[in-house]
Amino acid sequence: MAIDPLAFMSTLEQRMEFTSEDKSILKLNAEWGLTIAPEMADHFYTYLGRDAEMNAILNQTEGRIHRLHQTFIRWFHEMFTGLDDWGNTYSQNRWRIGVVHVQIGIQSQHIVPAMAKVVHEVGKKLQSEGKPADLKEALSKICMIDLAFIEQSYIDVAASAVLKETGWSEALFRRLITHGASSM
Ligand code: HEM
């Protein structure tokens, strides 16, 4: 049931109306993105650290929180650079992020509020630094694309694991879900 990350990226670009103008303005502001990334990382991990369950995960292993700060800065900057113009490398990378979170056992319910925090903090920063509305829009779109990737990996990893374990076909699996849902 695994999706093709590049094809998914292309679908999301259309759905989010992520245009070449959006890409240009992000690239133009890549240096600025890198400059504010450490501050955004601080907001992000302070926010996650207020939740006891998340805090335990963040500090589970020696040096993890320090590593995560660096990881966040890289991730944040990549939204501006697009790595390979938001192509195959970018898509594979975004797909992988979701898979890593599933592997660690972070529940998907934490992902949307976490991304909302990023959008909120970056919005405040854009405003205080007098950045244009176009940049805010482009950033919101790419955050939502990255969010859609992570959320989709959760579904796909779970489905793939069930299919592998049971030997069911994808059609049967989907039927079971819709059948189960209709009785709720
Ligand atoms: C907007 C949502 C999030 C984004 C964009 C994000 C981004 C990332 C990235 C880019 C990685 C590295 C993945 C890799 O190794 O390829 C990562 C790993 C990780 N993330 Fe997140 N994350 C998000 C939400 C969360 C939440 C809610 C938690 C909860 C505690 C979390 C905890 C972790 C942990 C523990 C790792 C592994 C760190 C290690 O290497 O030990 N993340 N994240």
Among 97, 103, 120, 121, say which to mutate for ligand 1: greatest number of ligand atoms within 8 Å of CB: 97
Q: Residue 181 pLDDT more than 90?
A: no
Range 121-142 average pLDDT: 98
pLDDT (0 to 100) of residue 3: 87
| Tens-place pLDDT, residues 135-171 | 999 999 999 999 999 999 999 998 898 999 999 998 9
Please enumerate in sequence order all residues whose Cβ is within 8 A of that of 183, keeping only pairs 6 or more positions apart, or say none: none
pLDDT in tens, 32-49: 999 999 999 999 999 999
Which atom of ligand 1 lies at the shortest distance from residue 117's CA?
1
CB contact at 8 A, 145 and 18: yes
Alpha carbon distance 116, 1 (integer Å)? 28
Written as six digits, the tokens of 94 are 């975004």
- Report the percentage of the chain scoring pLDDT > 90: 89
Q: Which numbered atom of ligand 1 lies nearest the CA of 55?
A: 30
The answer to whether 150 and 111 have CB atoms below 8 angstroms apart is yes
> Does residue 71 carry a pLDDT above 90?
yes
- Looking at ligand 1, which residue's alpha carbon is closest to its atom 20? 101
- What's the pLDDT score for residue 1? 59
